[in-house]
Each structure stands twice: as structure tokens, then as C-alpha cells.
Amino acid sequence: MPTVNVGRDRLYEALQQHYSEEEFDELCFDFGIELDDVTTEKAIIRKEKHLQEDTLEDEEIIYKIEVPANRYDLLCLEGLARALRIFTGKQGSPTFSLSSSAIQKMYVQPETALIRPYVVCAILRGITFNQARYNSFIDLQDRLHQNLCRKRTLVAIGTHDLGTLEGPFTYEALPPSEIKFVPLKQRMEFTAEELMDFYKSDLKLKKYLHIIESSPVFPVLYDSKRTVLSLPPIINGAHSAITLQTKDVLIECTATDLTKAKIVLNTLVTMFSEYCEKKFEVEPVEVISSDGNATIYPDLHVRSLEVDLAYINGYIGVSLQSKQVIDLLNRMQLPSEATIGSNGKSKIKALIPPTRSDVLHPCDVVEDVAIAYGYNNILKTLPRSLTQGKQQPLNHFSDLLRSEIAMAGFTEVLTWILGSEAENFWLLNRKHKEHTGVIVGNPRGSDFERVRASLLPGLLKTMGHNKDSPRPVKLFEVSDVVLLDNTKDVGAANERHLAALYCNTTSGFEVIHGLVDRIMEVVGISNAAVGDTKGYYIAPSNEPEFFKGRQANIILNGSCIGSFGIIHPQVLANFDILDPCSVVELNIEPFL
């Protein structure tokens, strides 16, 4: 969930109301966002730089607010404050419009299809910036780049002082050596080729180089005087850099995903057109593709979504009239009207503004009705349908077995399912076999390399880390391991195992053997003669993880379901265990 940092005092000013921290926390909760943290600007910087210092009294208080990942209209103070003002009834939803004055043009060259096919643009006229607004503008672009734009791979944003440029504009893709300009924050001219090198050492920009660096052509935007606007997704030109004095802003978004480019553009203009001379008015730009098709951007059209009133009431569990629903939706920036459907039933027609790209389905409208109504205000009722409770037999059986093992004096442990390759193979003296286990593709460290196929490493590690526990130590675990399985759609399946460990100055081999007998006794399996196909018997084995002559397989109804034995001294040494141990591990699924 993305967090937005907003200055508390600026926020309260924009909300036209002062709240205590508790009151604001509750307001956020009601609206569906969360006040995550209260800190100061300097504290954030200190944390980033890992410095230790005390907060000074006069530092600006910053609220860190967590917003849903699909609400791009809440990623800046402007959007947040607006949403909360409308939610608390202080204002109605704004209506966005396109100005009809002379339209700037952006021509798209065909080569752009090789690297970054789409571009959308818009202009904010007569805007007034101050330092705070400017910072907010930059922050929003950063946030969008990180989230929706997937670190600039899908969409890249460029913003420019239109006063320094002259249209019409072109969006081209050229060999890097042919692109030459002074990039932002520099004084010298660079070719795009040189910039790839130059930014290799720039902490912020080096992570975006890979997006274009191996392409024969780089995307670039020019104005009619061949001034470079930007080299997306890397850097803007210094020439058109925005200052606090800028009055007209050109926004261009280049992209590999047109849907997301439109959402990004809409977010920027709807948020910041409130600072334009004509509030909430955006000047459009015509984008002409290489095949001659022209489209006007931004696309600020309002969608309508019809929802049955009965659907809304049934879903939430309330009985609201159309008028009540409309009042609630107005507070959520979804202005609506009541209509009658073709079936004669009452419907609500919700008008979805361009700020709400998260509304995809009538259920999203219903959710907003519920939030505005207040989840805590919904009356709790008993459900009307009859269902029966039912346990999974394997889980029921596991719990019965766990109790029996605990009653036998063993202590339950809960160990990691993920582990290293070493502890799953050679630390157990087990040979590395192909196709035996599940391998993690992107482990963060060696502790996350493998998914366990046995409960032994967990028990042995636990023992190795608790050497000072009073003797005897008796541990057990009943839990899943994962084995490869070609009959399953994903290629792997869980298997429920039971494992127990005994550690003392003596090996306790007969204790573990006794536990095996006890397990069979409580499950109701009788001891049989060697070779019988009904009941269980013990057959000596010869596995490397156990001590020679003190290990055996457990045969149930003719098949081996597990084994027990004294752990081999080499394995004990591998796990840093100083006393002899005996263990048992068996698959309990055959019991069912």
C-alpha cells in the first residue's frame, strides 16, 4: 500500500478544519485510508541517511497516510484534501472541462513503435506555483512513476514550461548519437549516448537506463525549433525546466501501455488544474499518429455506470432510498442520479469522473456507498442460509495425533518450511538427488533456497540451538512437507508428516521405538510379523543419516511409511549437537 507524506498544517488548511490527531485518525479510518505514522520532514531525511538526532520543536509535522494501491487520485495532498472535503460535505465534486482554445499538436513518428509507441499530452494554463505546490507536483510524478508506471517502464512523465517552447511538437525515436541537449541540472550539452554513460554513476537515474540502452533508437520529444523537451524515461531537458514563475505547463507521457498513460495524464491534470486561472479547466493537445489518426488528449470523459438499487441494498445489507444513495455517492466523488430501468426497477446512474479509474464494476460503486454509510453503521443480522460445519479429515486426524504425542511427554515445535540446500541434503548425509525437491527461484538468501521435503532439518536445527536445555529433550512436529508430483497441476504436492526427536546422554533409541509403537496403538494398527501385508512391522534399514545397526523402516500394510533411528554422529556434528539423538519421521496420510 503506497504512503503519501503530507504536511499536517498544510493539510488542515486545505481541509478548512483543524483536527486532533485522534479525530483525524478516525476520519481516515472512516474513509478507508490509514494514518500510518506521524513524523517530521527532517526525521524522514535523518532516517534515510541513518542519522541519530532528536526532533526539534519547530520542525514541520508530516503525516504519513496509507492509501489503497488503486487510488491514484489520493497520491498527493491536493487529491487527499479534496476527497476528504467532499467526504465531509464541505464541497461538491468538481467538474473538469477542456478549454476550446487553439490546440497544440504533437506529431508521432513511426520509429517510436520500436521502443515506446504511445504518447499523450495536456496543458495547464495560467497555473500559479509556490514552493509547496511545486514540491507536491514533483512528488506526485515520483509516486506515479513508482507505482502505476512500474518504475517508468510502462509510462514516463515529462513536465515543461510551455513559455520556453514553441509548438507544434514531435515525438521521435532516433539513434542516440543524433540526440544532443543540455539535460536538467547540467550546463553542458550531452549526446544521448554520452548520457547513458554519465548517468551510470547517478544513484537515482541509473536504474532506468536499462529500459532503453540496448535499443538502436531512443525516444525523444522536440518542439518546432528542435529544442529537446525530454529523453524519456531518463531525463528532461534543462531548457524547458519548470520554475516557480512558470504559468503554462505542458505535460507529456510516453508509454508502452496506453491505458495506463491515459490514467497517469488524467491524474496529473485533475489534481493540479485546481491551481489554474480557470479552475479545473485543462487545455487539450492533439496527438497525430504516423498513420494520420488524430486523438485529443486528455480524455476526461465521464463514464456512467448503472446499478440496481436492490443490488446495492442487498449487497450491503441496508434498505436505502435512491435519494439517500445519491447523497452518499456525492460524498465519494461519484455524482449520481436516480433512474428507472427497462425492467421497471429503481436504478442509480453513477457518473464516474476521470479521477476514479479504480471503479471497474457496479460492486465498486456499492463499496463507496457502504464506506459513505459507514461500515460500523450496518446492522448485524444472522445469516439466513443453513450450512454445516465440517473439518478436513487430515487436519482432524493430525490434531488427535498431536495430543497423543504431547501426552507422551513430547514438546511441539513449529519450524520453517523454507531452508537452505545444505540442511536439506549434505548436512543430513543425504545425497543430492535430481528431481526430489522444490527449488525457490528468487530466494533472498540461502535460508530460503528450498522448500522442505522432510521435517528432520527443522528438528535438528532446533536441537542445535537449544543445547543447554535440561535432558532429556523430547520434541515433535506434525506438519506438511512438499514433494514433486507429476499428477498435480502445479507439479508438486504437500504431504503431512510426523517427526519426533529424543536427545539425552544416552541415545533413547528404544524410547523413539516405543513412540512408534504408541502411535500405532492409538491409531489402532496391530503389530504384525515381518512380511505381513496387514498391520505394521519394523525392518532394519541402511540409510546414511542414521547410525549403522540402529535404524529401521516402518512398514504399514506392506509399504514403507517412514523410518527411525539413532542420528549418525557426522550429522549431529553438522548440526552442532553434542549429545546422542534418536528421531522418527513418518508420513501420516496412509493412516486415513
Partner 1 sequence: MVALSDKEVTKAQHVEEVILSHLQTHEEIVNSGEFAKANGLEHDLLLSVVQSLHGFNYVEAQDIKKEAWVLTEEGNSYATLGSPEVQVYKAIPLEGISREDLQKKLDVSVFKIGFAKAMGNKWLETKPLVSRKVSNVEDQVQQQLVHIRNGQDLAAADIDALKKRKLIIPLIWKGYSIRKGTSYAPKRTKAATDLTREVLQRGTWKDLVFKDYNYNALGQPTEGGHLHPLLKVRAQFREIFLEMGFEEMPTNNFIESSFWNFDALFQPQQHPARDSHDTFFLQVPEKAQFLPEDYLQRVKEIHEHGGYGSIGYGYNWKREDAEKNVLRTHTTAVSSRMLYKLAQDGFTPKRYFSIDRVFRNEAVDRTHLAEFHQN
Residue ranges binding partner 1 (CB under 8 A): 1-2, 69-70, 146-148, 150, 154, 257, 259-260, 303, 360-363, 385-392, 394-395, 399, 402-403, 405-414, 416-418, 435, 437-444, 448, 451, 474, 476, 480, 482, 484, 486, 488-494, 496
At closest approach, how far in Å is the CB of 506 from partner 1?
Answer: 18
At closest approach, how far in Å is the CB of 69 from partner 1?
Answer: 5
Residues 363, 359: Cα–Cα separation, whole Å: 8
Q: Based on CB atoms, which residue is closest to partner 1, 131 or 381?
A: 381
At closest approach, how far in Å is the CB of 486 from partner 1?
Answer: 8
State the cell numbers at 346: 429503481
> Taking Cα atoms as reference points, which of 576, 572, 536, 571 lies closest to residue 553?
536
At closest approach, how far in Å is the CB of 291 from partner 1?
Answer: 21
Answer whether 89's CB lies under 8 Å from 271's CB.
no
Angstrom CA distances, 427 to 403, 416, 422, 498, stand at 31, 16, 6, 20
Q: Based on CB atoms, which residue is closest to partner 1, 310 or 539?
A: 310
User: Phi/psi at 161 (nearest 5 deg)?
Assistant: -80, 105
DSSP 3-state assignment of 581?
A: strand
Q: Based on CB atoms, which residue is closest to partner 1, 500 or 552?
A: 500
Amino acid at 525: I
Q: Based on CB atoms, which residue is closest to partner 1, 493 or 560?
A: 493
Which residues, 6+ apart, have CB-to-CB distance to 6 below 8 Å? 62, 63, 65, 77, 80
The helix or strand, by DSSP H or E, that contains position 421, with its residue range, turns out to be helix 421-424
Residues 458, 416: Cα–Cα separation, whole Å: 7
Residues 577, 569: Cα–Cα separation, whole Å: 9
At closest approach, how far in Å is the CB of 170 from partner 1?
Answer: 27
> Taking Cα atoms as reference points, which of 217, 362, 355, 358 lies closest to residue 299?
355
Sign of CA dihedral 59, 78, 360, 141: negative
At closest approach, how far in Å is the CB of 417 from partner 1?
Answer: 6
Angstrom CA distances, 467 to 218, 408, 410, stand at 62, 22, 17
Q: Based on CB atoms, which residue is closest to partner 1, 411 or 506?
A: 411
> Taking Cα atoms as reference points, which of 588, 570, 586, 560 lies closest to residue 460?
570
At closest approach, how far in Å is the CB of 448 from partner 1?
Answer: 6
At closest approach, how far in Å is the CB of 402 from partner 1?
Answer: 6
Q: Based on CB atoms, which residue is closest to partner 1, 331 or 496?
A: 496
Q: Based on CB atoms, which residue is closest to partner 1, 72 or 275?
A: 72
Q: Based on CB atoms, which residue is closest to partner 1, 381 or 391?
A: 391
Q: Based on CB atoms, which residue is closest to partner 1, 69 or 578?
A: 69
State the cell numbers at 52: 541519530
At closest approach, how far in Å is the CB of 585 from partner 1?
Answer: 17
